[in-house]
Structure 1
Amino acid sequence: MGSSVAYVNGAVYVDEFDQNILNVDDNIYDASCSTGTYSNQVRAMRRVELSCRTVTTAQPLAADHPRATSIALDVSSPDLDTHVASHDVVISLVPFVHHPTVIRAAIRGKTNVVTTSYVSPAIRELEAQVKEARITVLNEVGVDPGVDHLYAIKTIDEVHSKGGKVKEFYSFCGGLPAPECSDNPLRFKFSWSPRGALLSQHNPASFLQDGKVVSIPNDELMAQAKPYHIIDGYSFVAYPNRDSVPFREFYGIPEAETVVRGSLRYEGNPEFVQALIRMGWLDTQERNWLSGREDVTLKELLRRAVGADSDEEGALISRIQELCAFSNDEEMERIVSGLRWIGLFSDRKATPRGNLLDTLCAELEKLMSFQPGERDLVMLQHKFVIEWKGGKKKTITSTLELLGDTNGYSGMAKSVGVTCGVATQLMLDGEPALNVAGVLAPYKAEICDPIRIALESEGIKLIERTI
């Protein structure tokens, strides 16, 4: 049978005329991945079906691909099974909670699946059915997760082959505005959901340090952010992200005493987000007073959020100082100025969305989206502290600095879309390690190496240095 690829909100690559891809996509960011991030060979060869919730969203994505068609389709569609079954692979770039729905359709249709998301417990629960259907569900082939795995495994395997031990492993990644575009109080812009971006800074985290597990509650995560130098000219801070502990096993480094994976932001961002948390703005609980209100002002919402006596600016600032316990006057002035920039002290009408977080996001979407001519930055660095035979220690860094194109493709779209695309292409080309029945992720050289080599041919490569 010929090959076909289905794109459920995502990005695709294929190589033979008879192969079809279904791409199922659900958001603007993933849509950018589905366009323009394919190699010339892929553009010319494979059939791609691009799906979004509405056909008007999908049509522009298909315009640049000569063998692409566009349809309206999402995970709740009764036609999902039919579309999935008629393709050779489905690329699922829907929110991670919906991947199991796509995978179940793929099991019924005997269709392979590619995602850029972590293997969740819900996906892992489907592994027996995936194997029984003799299909491959390949996950974690974006940038983080994805590119990070490819180069972690490369360096770790090289160190082990020379008799060395990886005693410490650090990995930090950030999707950020380019420095010249980080021109707001959070020094951040949204190429995807503001909700998801903010909540990612309010998760608990665990990591290994000196052989011991360190756990950070979500309300204290931003207080863990520390200055982190990668390349001159950038003012990064880094903080741990979710659970790093399993990666000692995933990466095959039982000798490691410290394992930390985390995120990057620009200086000043964590303090601002921490203030928002303390004021209650990341609260997702539904509030009656945030439903059905069209006349409420932002300063009235701020008063309700912080519990101030009135919505006069002086009273609001006084209450904010009580809640936030700023470290100094300079920090207080900077954050209050930022709140003023958002409009939270103003008479401007709010856009209530049922809870404080989504109501705040309604304002941030207007103020902090990328504008024409602006570009983003993907920065990723691994740091390995190596112990060689005889006890001598060296540090190896592996770094990706990828800027988006002005009025072109973003760095995030390129790094996620191309990685996902070449992995899909390799699967369809019959790469043995990418055609094993089961739930896969790139934690072994036989999976990582072919993807990494193909990715480098597309110009995405981490630069390694020994220091």
Structure 2
Amino acid sequence: MTLQSNTLPLKKILLFGAGKSATCLIAYLIQQAANNNWQITIADGNFELAQNKSGGSLYATPVQVDVKDDEQRNALIEQADIVISMLPPGLHLLVAKNCLTAGRHLLTASYADAGMKKLEPEIRKKGLLFLCEMGLDPGIDHMSAMQIIHRIRTAGGKITAFYSHCGGLVAPESDDNPWHYKISWNPRNIVLAGKTGAIYKLHNEIRHLAYNALFDAGRLVEVPGYGSYAWYPNRDSLIYLHLYGLEDTATFIRTTLRHPDFCIGWKKIIELELTDEKTLYDTDNLSYHSFFNLHLSNQGLKEAASGKEKQLLSYLGLYGNGIIGKGIASAADIIQSALEKNLMLQPADKDMIIMLHEISYADGGGEVRKITSSLIVKGENNLVTAMAKTVGLPLGIAATLILQEKISLTGLHIPIAPEIYVPVLDELGKEGIVFGESLI
């Protein structure tokens, strides 16, 4: 089945969300719109933000939208050929249902969750393409890994171990704090990362790690040219065993990369239950240090932080007299506030994306080999970030290819098919997003 033919006289792209990760996506879409005489609508709850991101382009129209308003949302979708959602994951389903009704293609960088999967029969029946996990991680990780996996299989090899690491980090030239970390995306995601624990496969055994065991600074991987980084297992790796066709592989782990010192600090934050979302505090006249002491008392905990741990907590201001001033807030809200005050990218700072695949396999002759494939991307400043490039460009490229009818898949997909990853990786290469590879 092929994509439905476009019946509109002018091809139109609708983007929901103009936040941090949409900066490079919008710039790319405007360029493609100029080349192809397309029109982009940038819809956000903040009109000024959408207007600034449009840059005054004749090919981009900023609009203010309450995405939870059914009438507003549906009116915009009905005018588009293809919809890109950069909204929080919980809002994608609202957009998806309208896209189904209106017969519009949909792209997101978020995981294909249970709600989206329930729509799959109707998506396929209507001849639409809903492409999820089309960002960095998930996204570029899938595409670059599958390209290697398919190449090994074609040559008669059998994969025995698969590690896929990815981290949004700070570039060495902008690394000036003891956490060796600065935030280039939604801070809430940093606070909540790992709360559900992790599951993966190691040496033919299914392993579960609880939240409090994730952030181990001793799990290290060497990144070519950048030294050692710590990794922790990311969510549920097992759901990709079948999708990657690696059910027989002895080890399969998808991870997040951090500096080892970050893991030391975050492990202590978890031990002190500072990511708790249940207990609430009135923070309008509460200092960070007073909150810290009150929280420990409420939780029946002792601080027991010294050395490196204390240095890291101190850097977040937890021993300081600064007023939180966030109204009624949880410990997680307060830690997020501390991160936003002390670990955000400054205007001239550069972030850095590291992606690293380690794939061991027996080749056609039975010899054991290992491919290491690595990607390093640095941002330009705190607006044109490596995170924005690597999350946004895959979406923009895929949208362009779909409108040009160079991708003809229908149904609900993630980018593991050659029809998607071959042309997208090729275009990413033209944007400077290129993997280096070694074989031993």
TM-score of the two chains, using structure 1 as the length reference: 0.87
Residues 1:454 and 2:437 aligned together: no
Q: Is the 8 A contact 2:168 2:184 kept in 1?
A: no
SS of the aligned residue for 2:147 comes to: helix
Residue of 278, 281, 303 corresponding to 1:320: 303
Residues 1:20 and 2:3 aligned together: no
- Following the alignment from structure 2 to structure 1, what is the Cα–Cα distance between the partners of residues 365 and 125? 49
Residue of 329, 343, 347 corresponding to 2:321: 347
Q: Is the 8 A contact 2:194 2:235 kept in 1?
A: no
- Following the alignment from structure 2 to structure 1, what is the Cα–Cα distance between the partners of residues 277 and 370? 42
Alpha-carbon shift at residue 64 of structure 1 (Å): 5.6
Residue of 312, 322, 326 corresponding to 1:338: 312
1:390/1:31 CA distance change after superposition, 3 Å: closer
Alignment of 1:361-440 (within 5 A): 361-406=336-381, 409-434=384-409, 436=410, 438-440=411-413
Alpha-carbon shift at residue 248 of structure 1 (Å): 2.0
Q: Is the 8 A contact 1:396 1:465 kept in 2?
A: yes
Residues 1:83 and 2:76 aligned together: yes
Q: Counterpart amino acid of 1:30?
A: S
Alpha-carbon shift at residue 431 of structure 1 (Å): 2.3
Q: Counterpart amino acid of 1:382?
A: H
Alpha-carbon shift at residue 127 of structure 1 (Å): 1.4
When structure 1 is superposed on structure 2, of 421-430 and 344-353 the one drifting more is 344-353
When structure 1 is superposed on structure 2, of 207-216 and 389-398 the one drifting more is 389-398
- Following the alignment from structure 2 to structure 1, what is the Cα–Cα distance between the partners of residues 16 and 365? 53
- Following the alignment from structure 1 to structure 2, what is the Cα–Cα distance between the partners of residues 87 and 40? 18
Residue of 41, 51, 58 corresponding to 1:66: 58
Q: Is the 8 A contact 2:25 2:395 kept in 1?
A: no
SS of the aligned residue for 1:220 comes to: helix
1:102/1:127 CA distance change after superposition, 3 Å: same
Alpha-carbon shift at residue 79 of structure 1 (Å): 0.7
Alpha-carbon shift at residue 302 of structure 1 (Å): 0.5
Corresponding residue of 2:178: 185
1:227/1:299 CA distance change after superposition, 3 Å: same
SS of the aligned residue for 1:268 comes to: helix
SS of the aligned residue for 2:222 comes to: coil
Residues 1:100 and 2:93 aligned together: yes
- Following the alignment from structure 2 to structure 1, what is the Cα–Cα distance between the partners of residues 324 and 192? 21
Alpha-carbon shift at residue 187 of structure 1 (Å): 1.8
Alpha-carbon shift at residue 407 of structure 1 (Å): 6.4
Q: Counterpart amino acid of 1:419?
A: P
Alpha-carbon shift at residue 43 of structure 1 (Å): 4.0
When structure 1 is superposed on structure 2, of 251-260 and 166-175 the one drifting more is 251-260
Corresponding residue of 1:279: 272
1:140/1:408 CA distance change after superposition, 3 Å: same
Q: Is the 8 A contact 1:308 1:319 kept in 2?
A: no
Q: Is the 8 A contact 1:397 1:466 kept in 2?
A: yes
Q: Is the 8 A contact 2:357 2:374 kept in 1?
A: yes
Alpha-carbon shift at residue 263 of structure 1 (Å): 0.6
Corresponding residue of 2:46: 54
| Residue-pair matches, total | 433
Q: Is the 8 A contact 1:3 1:20 kept in 2?
A: no
When structure 1 is superposed on structure 2, of 105-114 and 349-358 the one drifting more is 349-358
1:43/1:336 CA distance change after superposition, 3 Å: farther
Corresponding residue of 1:296: 286
Alpha-carbon shift at residue 192 of structure 1 (Å): 2.1
SS of the aligned residue for 2:27 comes to: coil
- Following the alignment from structure 1 to structure 2, what is the Cα–Cα distance between the partners of residues 55 and 3? 29
Alpha-carbon shift at residue 39 of structure 1 (Å): 7.8
SS of the aligned residue for 2:134 comes to: coil
Corresponding residue of 1:10: none
SS of the aligned residue for 2:370 comes to: strand
Corresponding residue of 1:328: none
SS of the aligned residue for 2:216 comes to: helix
Q: Is the 8 A contact 1:176 1:189 kept in 2?
A: yes
Alpha-carbon shift at residue 247 of structure 1 (Å): 1.9
List per-residue Cα deviations over 1:352-385 (Å, max 9, x = no partner): 4421111121122122111111111011011110
List per-residue Cα deviations over 1:168-201 (Å, max 9, x = no partner): 1110000111123232232211122222112114
1:101/1:336 CA distance change after superposition, 3 Å: same
Q: Counterpart amino acid of 1:221?
A: L
- Following the alignment from structure 1 to structure 2, what is the Cα–Cα distance between the partners of residues 91 and 445? 21
RMSD: 2.2
Q: Is the 8 A contact 1:433 1:447 kept in 2?
A: no
Residues 1:141 and 2:123 aligned together: no
Alpha-carbon shift at residue 387 of structure 1 (Å): 0.3
- Structure 1 gap segments, 5+ residues each: 5-16, 310-315, 325-331
SS of the aligned residue for 2:227 comes to: coil
1:385/1:100 CA distance change after superposition, 3 Å: same
1:334/1:55 CA distance change after superposition, 3 Å: same
